[in-house]
């Protein structure tokens, strides 16, 4: 049996503002190492909410979350930050790069924060990641000098810098045109096949989902098919 890197056990979540609504209900699933999983479902069914819980940014939920076989329950804010830094790469719908830093420095930041490698090595690794994504020539530009597709690829490179156990994406192609979406998808596919990178990607693009290894379909806060 292959190794489980992410496991959700009975995860439930309610919002209480203005009235209590349950947006996630009995979420149970796991992701194995090297799997390319996509999550689909109608808008408002709770995909993003789930992903923020899985990425440890949202801690206000019931149930249990295990990342790399370790429970995230009762972990302090600083410890969760460390988990995010070390084990999770996150790609948002919008690129969310830091405009104060060059493309290269943006990719390097989580690596420098981890401190596993020297700054020189982190720089070298960042260049490698940019090369994988085919944007090594943009390394010294500032983020606002890049196109939307390029920015998203930089964000993916940043997600890869610490060799995370899992990469999560919240509609990473949602804001891109067909051509750029295809490029980003190809990048994910390549990562899955060649690097054995585990991926959990939320999307509403059916075509995208169908090309992945496994689809988890959600409806009204529940998993209806996986």
Ligand X SMILES: Nc1ncnc2c1ncn2[C@@H]1O[C@H](COP(=O)(O)OP(=O)(O)O)[C@@H](O)[C@H]1O
Task: Return d(Cα 54, Cα 200) in angstroms, integer.
Answer: 10
Nearer to other proteins, 66 or 112 (CB): 112
Nearer to other proteins, 57 or 224 (CB): 57
Is 49 near Mg ion (CB under 5 A)? Answer: no
- Report, in Å, the least distance between residue 8 CB and ligand X: 15
The separation between the first and the last C-alpha atoms of the chain, rounded to the nearest angstrom, is 18
Nearer to other proteins, 13 or 132 (CB): 13
Candidate ranges 43-51, 77-85, 115-123, 129-137; the one touching ligand X (CB under 6 A): 43-51
Is 92 near other proteins (CB under 8 A)? Answer: yes
Is 206 near ligand X (CB under 6 A)? Answer: no
Task: Return d(Cα 119, Cα 124) in angstroms, integer.
Answer: 9
Is 48 near Mg ion (CB under 5 A)? Answer: yes
Task: Return d(Cα 147, Cα 30) in angstroms, integer.
Answer: 35
Binders of other proteins in range 141-200 (CB under 8 A): 158
Candidate ranges 1-9, 23-31, 82-90, 192-200; the one touching other proteins (CB under 8 A): 82-90
Q: Tell me if 30 sits within 8 A of 24, measured CB to CB.
A: no
CA–CA distance from 29 to each of 10, 66, 75, 182, 188 (Å)? 9, 11, 21, 28, 21
DSSP β-ladder status, 21-32 and 36-41: unpaired
Choose which of 38, 49, 150, 181 interacts with ligand X (CB under 6 A). Answer: 49
- For other proteins, the binding residues (CB under 8 A) are 48, 52, 55, 57-58, 77-78, 81-82, 84-86, 90, 92-94, 96-101, 109-110, 112-115, 158
Q: Summarize as ranges the residues that interact with ligand X (CB under 6 A).
A: 15, 17, 23, 41, 43-49
């Amino acid at each position: 049996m292959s190794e489980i890197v992410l496991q959700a056990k009975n995860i439930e979540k309610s919002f209480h503002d203005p009235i209590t609504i349950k947006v996630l209900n009995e979420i149970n699933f796991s992701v194995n190492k090297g799997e390319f999983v996509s999550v689909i479902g109608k808008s408002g069914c709770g995909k993003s909410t789930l992903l923020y819980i899985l990425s440890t940014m949202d801690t206000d939920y019931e149930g249990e979350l295990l990342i790399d076989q370790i429970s995230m329950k009762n972990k302090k804010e600083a410890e969760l930050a460390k988990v995010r830094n070390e084990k999770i790469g996150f790609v948002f719908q919008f690129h969310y790069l830091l405009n104060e830093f060059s493309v290269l420095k943006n990719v390097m930041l989580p690596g420098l924060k981890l401190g596993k490698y020297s700054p020189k090595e982190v720089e070298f690794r960042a260049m490698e990641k940019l090369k994988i994504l085919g944007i090594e020539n943009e390394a010294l530009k500032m983020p606002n000098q890049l196109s939307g597709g390029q920015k998203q690829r930089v964000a993916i490179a940043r997600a890869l810098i610490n060799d995370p156990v899992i990469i999560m994406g919240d509609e990473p192609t949602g804001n891109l045109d067909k051509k750029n979406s295809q490029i980003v998808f190809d990048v994910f596919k390549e990562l899955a096949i060649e690097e054995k990178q585990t991926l959990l990607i939320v999307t509403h693009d059916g075509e995208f989902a169908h090309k992945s290894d496994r689809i988890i379909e959600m409806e009204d806060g529940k998993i209806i098919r996986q």
